[in-house]
Amino acid sequence: MAYTSTTATLAMLEFLAHVDSRSFDPVSPPALVVVTAEIDPADVMPFAALRVALPEDWRNVPAPAEIGAIGDAWIASASPLGLAVPSAILPDVLPERNVLINPLHPRFSTITWRDDEFAYDLRLLI
């Protein structure tokens, strides 16, 4: 499963939430890449369409096992290509969403990918 975000800003927050930024050298931060995936909006389903409720502790670290089971069931269903899910960092901020992409979906090959070099503003890493 590819874990993406609808905006570069949310992707930056998600990255910072999952790495130890103290390990970055503020003088020469790591070379990073922002990968953009262009997906037809009709190929992305909102989480609510699954008709399952997130567990109350869905924002916990580590995430509860039920979250993985929901994702596994979605992947197994083979539909749709993408699933828009709330971010644990910004759960109630629309249109900010993470989008899970199913690499096993037949339309995965229709995605247009672009990558661009990226560096964090050093003030975010200090």
Residue 70's pLDDT is: 93
The model's pTM is 0.86
Q: How many domains does the chain have?
A: 1
Q: What is the pLDDT of residue 50?
A: 92
Using a 10 angstrom Cβ sphere, with 0-12 exposed, 13-18 middle and 19 or more buried, the burial of residue 85 is: buried
Identify the H or E element spanning 8. Answer: helix 8-18
Residue 92's pLDDT is 83
- Spell out the per-residue pLDDT of the chain, length 126, in tens: 889 999 988 998 998 888 887 777 767 777 788 999 999 999 999 999 999 999 999 999 899 999 999 999 999 887 899 999 999 998 887 788 999 999 989 999 999 999 998 887 777 776
Domain that holds residue 113: 2-21+29-124
